[in-house]
Structure formats: C-alpha cells, structure tokens
Chains A and B, each alone.
Chain A
C-alpha cells in the first residue's frame, strides 16, 4: 500500500492526531539505540488505548503491512528498527500507572510507563520494582517485557521475567488476550505470559502489564577490589558465591574500562589495575554489613588481589556505582562508534571467557573494553571503532562471530539481556538449532498468522 494512502487510511481510522508521516518524523523513527541499523517506516501511529491498538493491527493485517511496537527505543539489538518499512506503533501515549496495590504487592501499568517512573511511584509505598536495566530512566515497561530486560542485580533478584504476573496483549489477528493475572499461583493452561516475555514484539503487542513488587531494602553497602586481571577477579567472584553469599551487586571492569572511566570521570580509580570488582548488597543493616565484610575478606585472600576498600559513605558508594554505569559512554568517547555485546556464560567459565576476549581483541587489532555482571556471568565486551574506517568495521564484524562462538563453546548464549533483534539474528540458529528454530516459526504463525508483527525477527 502506498505510504500516502496508508497514512490517510490510518488517520481516518483513529484520527489525524494519532498519525505522523512527514519526512522528519519518519527519519526520527528510523533507528533505535543500536549502531549500524537503520530503516525508514512509512508511518508512525500513537494509539491511546487497547481498542486502538487492536484497530491498527486489524488494519495492518488486512493490508499485510509490517507493524513494529516501540517504547522509548533504547534497546541495543535493533529490535525496533523498521527494516521492512511499515507502521511504527509508538506506545508512548499509553503511560498511565493504573494501580499500585500495597497489600497484593503488585502494580498494573500501561506499556509506555518508564521503569524509573514505576519504581519512583511504588517507592512512596515503601516498595520497589526490582529489575533495573542500565537504561531504567528512559526504558519503558513494554520494552522491558519485550526484551526481558536484565540489569545490575540479576544474581540475587533475577530479571524482568521473574517480575511479570500478567499481561493484556493484542495478537497478530487483532484479538485481545489476557494472560496470567494477579495470582502468585496459577497453573491453568500453558504459561503464555512467560512465552510472551522476551518475544520482542513478534507474537503480540502488550497493552497492559501486571508486575510483582518487593519491599524496598532498608540499607545498602558497597566495596571495591582491584585485581591484576579479569580472570583473577572472576575466580574471586566464584569463591564469593561458593561461600554461600548471594549479593545484590557483583560487577567488574577490565583495565581498558578503568582507564576510560577514570580519564572521563576522575573518580580516583587505580588505573594500573587489570580489573576492578565492585561488590555490594542490600537488605537490613545487619545482613548487609555481614555480607559486605565477608566479600571484602574473601577478595583480600584471593589470588592476584591488589587492594580492597569499603565505601565509607553514600557518596563514595555512588561514585563506585557511577564508575560501573558510565563504562559504556566512557568507552564510547574513545572512537566514533562502539559496538556493545552481551554474551552470557556459566559463572565458572567467566575467567576463560575474559581471557579469550582479550585474545580476540589482539587477533583483530581491535580496542575491546569488557565490563559486566560478574555475578550472573553476563559480559559486555565493547568494541570501539572509527566508523569511517571500512577495514576496522569489517574486522569488528569478524570478531563478533568469534565472540559468539566463544560464548556457545563455553555453554553460554549470544545474548544475556539485550535481546536478539536484528543484531544477533544471524547467530540465532547456531544457538537454538534447527528443531527449536522451526518450533519458533510455528509458534509465531499461531500468534501472528500473516507475519505482520515485527517481521524478519525472532520466529520469522
């Protein structure tokens, strides 16, 4: 269908104020937070209700038009780049927190609510929305559920998939489905809620989300340990978990990251160290003190340790957390483009993965800085390149294949928390195998018989 008639048909369906199709708007929606991916949508539609979402999907089905649901567009796997044109369905007009229930410890929200907005709202009740993806100030709940977003507290608390009780969603047929609900226990039928979490807009479009809430921890404490290299820091992490401690925070940075962060933020980090391990916990003051002291002791006794210190106050703790959070932008300043990867390996393989990534950087003469969630085995090797250097771009792409192979060889995965999108789609078959891939396709065709929901991605 021609773009012009597509826009006018949608405008007559929902009203002109819901539809954008000028060149500037289409350009703005042509990408998300993923470098190297770009595609122009024909039209952008911003529905205000579930009924309107259903209308748009029915229309898209009748005209076989691709439809890509989008929240804040902060994903890092090109899940929302309209590579096949079509409709971008912006969920940003559906941003109401519908309910916060203290006695049921749950919240019901529309998909355009930001992660931070929800956490701030429930904090007033002494509660917490637990998942904390790095982009929480901007990311939406809809996007979090679509990618099963992770964060810095995965080891102790899990990820988005552990905090969703129920969904309302629109299928590729335009039908509205409710899955799960407000119940902690409910085994009636397949767990379709769990199937939809992480489906990246390929099976259904979320219109309402019911989340689990937790009591807000009373206190937290952090410390830092420096090692000669990431492999030794990884061994210390293993010892910490093996000792029976399950801390909220176990993050690490390699020397490339430490230097980049220190040059950028001047936090007083040890630039000579090969690795920085940030450890911390939350809970009651007593338990936090115990676990943080124990982690400091274990680190001090570990091989290759250089120094261990505890943050004396909130400001010092914030500085440490900031060091971790600003790793990516600090690295990004070293070149004109940075490719952030997201492999995950079983924790005991962490030291081998860290060493091998260093080798890959040397093999392809690339600057790779690695930081990550050491506690849950999730690593973010970040390749910093000059986007105008074609040879360097080509070497970076080759190195990605090596990094994914490495993760799979160690029993890990090609993406821990960012998603498959378009960025990791070429490697999905290797991870899943033919039988699983065929099953994915069959599942998608049941939810979306005409293949209009985010086509070309998982399950297509």
Chain B
C-alpha cells in the first residue's frame, strides 16, 4: 500500500481507505440537492479512483464538474466509519485538475489579492482593524485576509477582550484559500510562513483558517477563538430577558478540528441558546464557493433561512467570516431581523 503521492495522482492509501458503504450520503449537502450518486462523497471517490486508474481522463467534464460542485464542507468525515480523509482527497483533486490556466478566474483574482502580505494590507488599509501591539503572552492573533477587509470589528472585539494577545498587521495570508482551491503546496508554504511570523500560540477567529493552520502547523500551535476563551460570561439582557442566540457551525472547524461543543458552551452562558436545525450543515458559503457557484450556494442556504426565520433569534452567531457574509446576505434578502455576529463581537457586548 503506497502512502506516497506521486505527481498528478491521488495518494493511493487514502483512496483505498473508502469501503464504499455509503454512510456519507445522508450527510452530504450536494447529494441532498440532487439525489445523484456522482454528487455524493462515495460517488466522488469512485470518480477519483477512475481518474487514478485511467478509466476516466482528468479532463472529463462530468468529473471536473463534481470536483467543483462539492462544497468541501467535509460533513462526510465525522460520519465515515472508515476514517476517509475526504477533505485531503478533494484538495488533491483540485490541485490536479485546476492547475495552471484551468483554475477559475475568480480564484486567480483572489490568489492575487492575498499573494503578499503588503497586498493584504493594502486591501484592508481603510478598514478599522485592531492596532499593532505587543501582548504580555505568547499568543498572536491571526488576522484573516477577508475578515480584516469585511468584518474589521471582529479583531477589534478580540483586542478589547484579550489585552494580552499580540497583534501584528504586517502578517500575510494563512493559505487556506490556496489549499481549498487547487494549490496545495502554496497553501502549505503560506501557513508555514505565518507560523514563523507569529510565534507561540496562533489565535484565529476564522474556522476555515484555524483548521488549515492546525492541519499544517499542528493542533498544539493553533486555537480557534471559542476553543481558547475560558473566562466565565454573564448573560446579555434585552427588554428584561436574556437574548435568544443561535449558532451556525463552521464546517472546517467542526468537521476538520472537531470544535463544536465549545462555542455552544459559551453561548449558553450569554443568553437563551437555541439550536438551529441542521446547524452543523454547510451554509453554502464554503469559502469561495458562494462566488464561484452562486446559484448552488443559494440552494444550499434556502432551507436554513426558512428555519432561522421561525426561531425569532436576536443573534445568529458565526465563527467564520465566509459564513458571516453568506448569512448576512441571505437573512437580509429574506427580511429576517436576526443580527449575524461573530462570537467575539457578542462576548464583547456582555456585561
């Protein structure tokens, strides 16, 4: 059994692990949409095997479509009895098929934006991100590239809540974007660079970044915010009652790092916690997916919006900027009044 990966191929031992039992089918959002085997994790692994053995060419349109249609949410991993590392296989697949000119234009543009630390800084120059500072502990805050630009209040909330955490705005991208979009080596390199730039514990407010950094640098080096926060919290009141709060899991935080109890425990202290139906299911943001496949992305989130609407929450908490953006947009369109916030922003509101 080969554990090595050769150029342009999947790691054979990772493909061999799948026993084709099909337990992943009900967990897969794209299979739920189509009911078609080729858009299930097991079906996609059957396709990968055909590509590996040469029964299908890597240029096959139907197969390439499936590599792209997959959200990469990894909901198939916790339910897999055989321990298939589907997320890794998908990254290898995109690495092989999206190489060079075949990579979608939007992805190329995103890569360009975060290619060097200075570009990330230019992008967020006008955003009110937390200021540079040297904290008392060996904990450094990772500033997600797109979170800095879109949701600067998140890093500000962390700066206010955790005065001992160091912040260095000259840091670059963690490389999750690259790893998920067919540039495995680039993704690894960027993570390692960030690891050197931020010594000690890296604290991340983005589930996607945390999971990628943790996979490359090791789980002892990387903590996601809800996993790291330990101080007790008091309830936030509104009109004389505790606020009603729901949570949308971050797929990679939950399925990649196994972190999902932690944010719930914090939210239970902050108010009346309500479990959103299928909170563990992908919201359809899936990193760059919502940009690449906006129609499919909307289909995935539609049932979630309907469910959230009936819950009449004050706050819906997100632990990843992509999810925040997706949920904000979808709830606004559906005229749902629930506010979408990052967990650090909500904690910052606590008395």
Q: Which of B21, B26, B63, B65 contacts A33 (CB 8 A)?
A: B21
Q: Is residue B35 within 8 Å, beta carbon to beta carbon, of the partner chain?
A: yes
Which of B62-108 touch A at CB < 8 Å? 62-63, 65-66, 79, 81-83
Q: What is the total number of residues of chain B having a CB less than 8 Å from a CB of chain A? A: 32
Q: Is residue B55 within 8 Å, beta carbon to beta carbon, of the partner chain?
A: yes
Q: Is residue A20 within 8 Å, beta carbon to beta carbon, of the partner chain?
A: yes
Which of the 9-residue segments B36-44, B152-160, B248-256 touches chain A? B36-44
Q: Which of A46, A135, A387 contacts B21 (CB 8 A)?
A: A135
| B81 touching A326, Cβ below 8 Å | yes
| A138 touching B22, Cβ below 8 Å | yes
| CA–CA, A30 and B38, complex, Å | 11
| CA–CA, A16 and B35, complex, Å | 16
Q: Is residue B257 within 8 Å, beta carbon to beta carbon, of the partner chain?
A: no
Q: Which residues of B contact A44 (CB under 8 A)?
A: 36
Taking the closest CB of chain B, its distance from the CB of A449, in whole angstroms, is 30
Which of the 9-residue segments A21-29, A222-230, A313-321, A424-432 touches chain B? A21-29
Taking the closest CB of chain A, its distance from the CB of B67, in whole angstroms, is 10
Q: Is residue A31 within 8 Å, beta carbon to beta carbon, of the partner chain?
A: yes
Q: What is the total number of residues of chain A having a CB less than 8 Å from a CB of chain B? A: 41
Q: Is residue B122 within 8 Å, beta carbon to beta carbon, of the partner chain?
A: no
Q: Which of A25, A33, A46, A386 contacts B62 (CB 8 A)?
A: A25
| CA–CA, A386 and B46, complex, Å | 19
| A28 touching B47, Cβ below 8 Å | yes
Q: Is residue A114 within 8 Å, beta carbon to beta carbon, of the partner chain?
A: yes
| A93 touching B22, Cβ below 8 Å | no
Interface string of A321-340 (1 = CB under 8 A from B): 00001101100110011100
Q: Which residues of A contact B36 (CB under 8 A)?
A: 20, 25, 28, 44, 46, 90, 92
Q: Is residue A116 within 8 Å, beta carbon to beta carbon, of the partner chain?
A: yes
| A28 touching B37, Cβ below 8 Å | yes
Also in contact, A138 and B62, with CB within 8 A (given A24-B47, A73-B37, A386-B1): no
| A332 touching B19, Cβ below 8 Å | yes
Taking the closest CB of chain A, its distance from the CB of B50, in whole angstroms, is 5
| CA–CA, A427 and B66, complex, Å | 39
Q: Is residue A137 within 8 Å, beta carbon to beta carbon, of the partner chain?
A: yes
Q: Is residue B346 within 8 Å, beta carbon to beta carbon, of the partner chain?
A: no
| A74 touching B21, Cβ below 8 Å | yes
| CA–CA, A270 and B255, complex, Å | 30
| CA–CA, A328 and B20, complex, Å | 12
| CA–CA, A332 and B82, complex, Å | 7
Enumerate chain B interface residues (CB-CB to A < 8 A): 1, 16-17, 19-23, 25-26, 35-38, 40, 43-44, 46-47, 50, 55-56, 60-63, 65-66, 79, 81-83
Besides the contacts A33-B20, A93-B35, A337-B16, what 18 more A-B pairs have beta carbons closer than 8 Å? A23-B63, A24-B38, A24-B63, A25-B36, A25-B62, A28-B40, A28-B43, A29-B37, A32-B22, A44-B36, A73-B22, A74-B22, A138-B23, A329-B19, A333-B17, A336-B16, A338-B19, A388-B1
